[in-house]
């Protein structure tokens, strides 16, 4: 399967990028073809200007060159993965801006829907799982990403995976997070994800 992996974090020496590397290794070991899109190093502009505002009177709008290039990139892949830190119990601004601009009317929703077989949203949370569950942040994020974004745009096979306690500096915690990321890549197209 051809999988586009989009990573959003300002630092390449972050746990987010370590997780992305292990995830990509799992994909490669499973025989998948993948490309990593690093939104920060690419210099992607997350701000939606008039050129990329949805045109509700036409679904044939030509967007800015940057957005059209990203749309063409997405079209080449069968599936998608987004790897990001969870900030304020949501997507970071860079990734939210990417979704706002690229998953646009006429391409991702409206008269057309995305063709991708599945999407994995892999978020890293500093907080423990108990905090997310107590306040239902995990359910809120899953509802937003799986239903509000992916399903609305035609991808019914959408999963949110949260790696918790990412500020815990014990080596065994980091290794467990990295092993989980590897397995998510290795078993990406398996419905019974490990």
Q: How do the domains of the chain map onto residue ranges?
A: 2-186
Give tens-digit pLDDT for 114-152: 999 999 999 999 999 999 999 999 999 999 999 999 999
Cβ neighbours for 119, distance < 8 A, ≥ 6 positions apart: 79, 80, 81, 82, 150, 155, 157, 158, 159
| Per-residue pLDDT reduced to its tens digit, 76-90 | 999 999 999 999 999
List CB contacts of 11: < 8 A, sequence separation 6 or more: 17
d(CA 174, CA 179): 9
Q: Are 102 and 42 in contact (CB under 8 A)?
A: no
Q: Mean pLDDT, to the nearest integer, of 60-65?
A: 93
C-alpha distances in angstroms, 180 versus 26, 47, 54, 183?
10, 33, 37, 5
The pLDDT value recorded for residue 96 is 98
* 90 contacts 149 by C-beta, under 8 angstroms: no
User: What pLDDT does 59 receive?
Assistant: 75
Task: Tell whether domain 2-186 is in CATH 3.40.50.970.
Answer: no
Q: How confident is the model at residue 191 (pLDDT cuts 50, 70, 90)?
A: low
48: which DSSP letter? -
The pLDDT value recorded for residue 192 is: 42
Distance, CA of 152 to CA of 167 (rounded, Å):
33
Q: What is the mean pLDDT of residues 33-51?
A: 97
The answer to whether the predicted template modeling score (pTM) of the entire model surpasses 0.85 is yes
Report, as an integer, the average pLDDT of 63-81.
98
């Amino acid at each position: 399967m051809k999988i586009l992996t989009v990573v959003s974090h300002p630092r390449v020496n972050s746990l987010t990028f370590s997780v992305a590397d292990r995830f990509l290794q799992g994909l490669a070991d499973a025989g998948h073809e993948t490309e990593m899109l690093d939104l920060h190093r690419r210099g992607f502009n997350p701000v939606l200007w008039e050129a990329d505002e949805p045109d509700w009177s036409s679904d044939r709008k030509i967007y800015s060159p940057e957005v059209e290039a990203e749309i063409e990139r997405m079209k080449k892949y069968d599936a998608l993965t987004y790897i990001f830190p969870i900030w304020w119990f949501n997507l970071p601004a860079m990734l939210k801006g990417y979704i706002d601009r690229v998953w646009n009317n006429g391409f991702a929703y409206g008269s057309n829907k995305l063709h991708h077989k599945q999407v994995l949203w892999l978020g890293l949370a500093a907080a423990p799982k108990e905090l997310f569950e107590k306040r239902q942040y995990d359910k809120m994020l899953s509802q937003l990403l799986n239903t509000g974004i992916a399903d609305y745009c035609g991808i019914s096979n959408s999963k949110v995976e949260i790696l918790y306690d990412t500020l815990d500096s014990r080596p065994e915690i980091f290794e467990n997070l990295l092993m989980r990321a590897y397995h998510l890549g290795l078993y990406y197209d398996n419905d019974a994800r490990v």
